[in-house]
Structure 1
Amino acid sequence: MKDPRTFFTSGTPAQYEYVYNLYEEAVKLKAIQKNKKVADYLKLDKWYPQIYQTADNPTFQNELPKRIKSRGKDAHLIHEELVQCMKWKLARGKFSPRIKDLVQMNTPRLCITETKKAFRALLKKDDLSSAIQALCNLKGVGPAMASVMLTAADAEQCGFMADECLLAIPEIESIDYTTKELLNFVDQLKSAATRRVLRVCVPAWQVK
């Protein structure tokens, strides 16, 4: 199955698990491609959550989600964590000094205020749209960057808006970094997750 769009719509749970088990190897190759030290690249990656669990990989890499959860009803990010999220995201795409500078310009107080507002909207009100808008009040943060933080807070309600993921979804024709596109992206991820569950729980002949 060479076409990622076909894989997204028709991949079986076993195929998804097989691909996921190649994740760390793919990260190593990405580090080499970007001329980064593999050990440093993997260390940064392990700080951010891997949100899918398999029999062969039963542990989550979830330092950041644990920190967020430990703050209870006042869940938020501190400035250092915001900057780390930015580094994690830029490590996967094109490096942008401008975005790096803008993100670092946010004050610690503003960072806590807006991330607390966003996580409250997401975790208590299930309002992803308002959560995105709150994070976009931070300098250097758009919907794609917001998706990084919101996925760390609750991976069942959001997903990282990576270019590769967007291009793998048939219903998304082009890359558009907007709130509307992120909401559509998350809907497509949830639909795909539902299809995978159905294929596990229901005989194949019952799944269209």
Structure 2
Amino acid sequence: MDYHELLQLKASKSAKKGGKETLAELDEWRKQLSDDVRENPRALTHGELAKLMTWKLKRGTFRPKLQQLAESNRAEEVEQVTQKAAHLIAGDEIIEAIKVLSELKGVGPATASLLGSVMSVNVPFFSDEAFAHVCPGVKITYTLKAYEKFLNAIVAWGHQRDLNAVEAEQEAWVLGMRDKYADKGTNKTGKKEQEDVKIVKTNEEEKEEKEEERPAKRRRR
């Protein structure tokens, strides 16, 4: 399966979640937004942050709380933070930009990397599947340190294939998704194995949610 076929697979599982727009429609919008912002660098708006979060949750696992947190940010704050991050990314200070973007409520390293990927092809989205493919055997944690490890790995992996960081993440996501679904229902123990994977995935998703909520908690102190 290629990227679009896998996207349709994910879309079929999230069709009724996160609003009326389909994952395919959101993905096309995301690509157009990325082209526009990369050509004419600017801050992102509150509406764009909210819509990118919807895309992220539809392509991953839908968790309404993160959507609500992202939408609770003030419009002025979103523009100020993303403008600062854009300047850092232009100076190739990617990790610093991820730190800055993570100041927004509901935004941890994973969502911050998504915002950064819209601004530059040098900032790959921190997706579970891509991480699993380029960092095999490494347990994912949704931290800045883990993102830095992923960034170095995906850039090196992409360089070997003449792909920029954003292209490399998409390709690694495809391969990671194929790995995830390749053996489903193909052996006698498949059901039990799938249940185990689901449990592990749920635990990891809970950790991601905690990481993305953490900046908001710090800001209220």
TM-score by structure 1 length?
0.71
Matched residue, 2:25: 43
Matched residue, 2:34: 65
**DSSP 3-state at the match of 1:175:** coil
Q: Distance in 2 between matches of 1:149 and 1:162?
A: 13
After superposition, what is the alpha-carbon deviation per residue over 1:109-144, rounded to whole angstroms, capped at 9, x for unaligned?
000000000110011x21011100110110000000
Cα displacement (A) at 1:69: 3.5
Gaps of 5+ in 2: 164-221
Matched residue, 2:139: 174
Q: Which of 78, 89, 112 is 2:79 aligned to?
A: 112
Matched residue, 2:190: none
Matched residue, 2:173: none
| % identical aligned pairs | 32
AA aligned opposite 2:132: L
Determine whether 1:135 maps to 2:98: no
Q: Distance in 1 between matches of 2:68 and 2:154?
A: 31
Asked if structure 2 preserves the Cα contact closer than 8 Å seen for 1:136 and 1:143, the reply is yes
Matched residue, 1:195: 160
**DSSP 3-state at the match of 2:161:** helix
**DSSP 3-state at the match of 1:176:** coil
Cα displacement (A) at 1:169: 2.0
Gaps of 5+ in 1: 1-18, 50-62, 199-208
Determine whether 1:153 maps to 2:119: yes
Matched residue, 2:4: 24
Change (3 A) 1:164 1:171: closer
AA aligned opposite 1:138: L
Q: Distance in 2 between matches of 1:128 and 1:172?
A: 25
**DSSP 3-state at the match of 2:124:** coil
Matched residue, 1:103: 70
Cα displacement (A) at 1:67: 3.3
**Equivalent residue pairs, number:** 161
Change (3 A) 1:112 1:39: closer
**DSSP 3-state at the match of 1:168:** helix
AA aligned opposite 1:176: T
AA aligned opposite 1:128: I
Change (3 A) 1:77 1:172: farther
Asked if structure 2 preserves the Cα contact closer than 8 Å seen for 1:166 and 1:172, the reply is no
Matched residue, 1:14: none
**DSSP 3-state at the match of 1:158:** coil
**DSSP 3-state at the match of 1:28:** helix
TM-score by structure 2 length?
0.67
Q: Distance in 1 between matches of 2:40 and 2:111?
A: 21
Cα displacement (A) at 1:171: 5.5
After superposition, what is the alpha-carbon deviation per residue over 1:136-181, rounded to whole angstroms, capped at 9, x for unaligned?
11000000001111111111x2111111111112366011111111
AA aligned opposite 1:33: K
